[in-house]
């Protein structure tokens, strides 16, 4: 018994140290955001500020159009998450339950997308957005204008569905009992009604898991907004942060802005951990 307790103490001390190391950057981020410039430039190490300068946050948020940038990020994240949940789960349901000729080849052709890093397709995706017909001054053939570059559709449309979401939804629905479909069919439900009124209400764990993953991915995305936007007013918060650091860096303000950008997700994560981890695991176990 004593042996066991001793082991547990060692493990807890080890994990405690490790989690301290893991958390240190976040602690530094917050403490730096509350320091004065003088404290930051002082040659001796002091982790905590003498007096917490909450005014740094106001100052950081008033340098630049943060209201607009937050609106952009929230709007894009909400729309992309909501629409992708519907489209992906609907396709997943069809691939899992409906019987149509090209089902298998279509499904496998879509799964190719799981292996392609988005960085490989960023150039053509940009070009396609630029040449969307009749958008942004383009003619019928997609020439002459800027298409969806620097617009909300440009920021969102290519993220509204994806191989990963479809795959996960299909796997989820495959585990549903066939009797469910038979019952719905006997009741005279069309396939659409079966999806909306039987399957969708039973999909909360799936939607929660997919939702938090999509939400984080969209909020945190940097590469696509970097490529597709060019005006100041279309920036997302991640992009705004990188612009913030150009020129002479005022660390206390940059850390304050970084904290504000990071905090919403950390809070969401703390409350939705369960779904988060569930989503990651289902994607991981099934490969």
Partner 1 sequence: MHHKKHRYRHSLDGYLMILPSYLIYFIFVFIPIIITIYLGFTNYDSYKTLDWVGLRNYFRLFQDPVFLISARNTVVYSICVIVPQIVIGLVMAVFLNQEMAGRGFFRVSFYIPNVTSMVAISMVWLWIYDPTVGFLNQVLKLVGITRQKWLFDLDLAMPSIIIMSIWKLIGYNMIIYLAGLQQIPRELYEAATVDGASSVTQFFKITIPLLRPTTFFLFVIACVQSFSVFEQVNVMTQGGPMNATTTIVHQIYERAFTNFQMGYASAMAVFLLVVTITLTMLNFRYGSQASESEIG
Interface size with partner 1, residues (CB under 8 A): 94
Stretch that binds partner 1, among 57-65, 142-150, 172-180, 242-250 (CB under 8 A): 242-250
Binding residues for partner 1 restricted to 104-133, rule: CB under 8 A? 106, 109-110, 112-113, 115-117, 119-128
Indicate whether 45 belongs to the interface with partner 1 (CB under 8 A): yes
**Which CB, 62 or 273, lies closer to partner 1?**
273
In the list 5, 25, 105, 231, the residue contacting partner 1 (rule: CB under 8 A) is 25
| 12 contacts partner 1 (rule: CB under 8 A) | yes
Interface of this chain with partner 1, residues 258 to 277, rule: CB under 8 A: 258, 261-262, 265-266, 269-270, 273, 276-277
Distance CA 7, CA 281 (A): 29
Contact 259, 33 (CB under 8 A): yes
Binding to partner 1 (CB under 8 A) within 165-204 occurs at 165-166, 190-192, 195
Judged by DSSP in three states, 176 sits in: coil
Enter the tokens of residue 92: 């997943």
43 binds partner 1 (CB under 8 A): yes
Find the shortest distance in angstroms from Cβ 241 to partner 1. 5
Rg (CA), the chain: 24
Q: How far is the CB of 58 from partner 1 (least distance, A)?
A: 19
Identity of the residue, 134 or 280, whose beta carbon is nearer to partner 1 in the bound complex: 280
Q: Name the token pair of 138.
A: 């383009």
Q: How far is CA 122 from CA 33, 98, 125, 232, 250, in A?
A: 35, 33, 5, 21, 33
Length of the chain: 287
Part in contact with partner 1 (CB under 8 A); list of ranges 54-62, 64-72, 98-106, 140-148: 98-106
Name which position in 8, 55, 104, 197 contacts partner 1 (CB under 8 A): 8
Spatial separation of the C-alpha atoms in residues 65 and 97, rounded to whole Å: 48
d(CA 162, CA 181): 26
Q: How far apart are CA 109 and CA 106, in angstroms?
A: 5
């Amino acid at each position: 018994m004593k042996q066991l307790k001793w082991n547990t103490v060692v493990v807890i001390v080890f994990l405690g140290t490790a989690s301290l190391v893991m958390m240190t950057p976040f602690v530094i981020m917050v403490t730096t955001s509350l320091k004065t410039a003088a404290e930051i430039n002082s040659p001796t190490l002091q982790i905590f500020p003498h007096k917490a300068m909450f005014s740094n946050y106001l100052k950081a948020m008033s340098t630049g159009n943060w209201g607009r940038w937050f609106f952009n990020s929230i709007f894009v994240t909400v729309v992309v998450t909501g629409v992708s949940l519907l489209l992906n789960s609907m396709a997943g349901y069809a691939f899992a339950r409906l019987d149509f000729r090209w089902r298998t080849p279509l499904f496998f052709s879509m799964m190719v997308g799981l292996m392609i890093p988005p960085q490989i397709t960023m150039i053509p995706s940009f070009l396609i957005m630029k040449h969307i017909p009749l958008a942004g001054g383009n003619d019928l053939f997609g020439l002459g204008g800027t298409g969806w570059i620097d617009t909300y559709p440009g920021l969102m449309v290519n993220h509204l569905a994806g191989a990963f979401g479809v795959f996960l939804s299909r796997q989820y629905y495959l585990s549903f009992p066939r009797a469910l479909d038979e019952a719905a069919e006997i009741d005279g439900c069309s396939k659409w009604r079966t999806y909306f009124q039987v399957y969708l209400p039973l999909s909360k764990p799936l939607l929660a898991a997919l939702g938090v993953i999509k939400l984080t991915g969209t909020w945190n995305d940097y590469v696509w907004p970097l490529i597709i936007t060019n005006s100041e007013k279309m920036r997302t918060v991640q992009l705004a942060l990188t612009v913030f650091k150009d020129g002479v860096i005022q660390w206390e303000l940059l850390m304050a802005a970084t904290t504000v950008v990071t905090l919403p997700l950390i809070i969401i994560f703390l409350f939705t951990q369960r779904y988060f981890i569930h989503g990651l695991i289902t994607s991981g176990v099934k490969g």
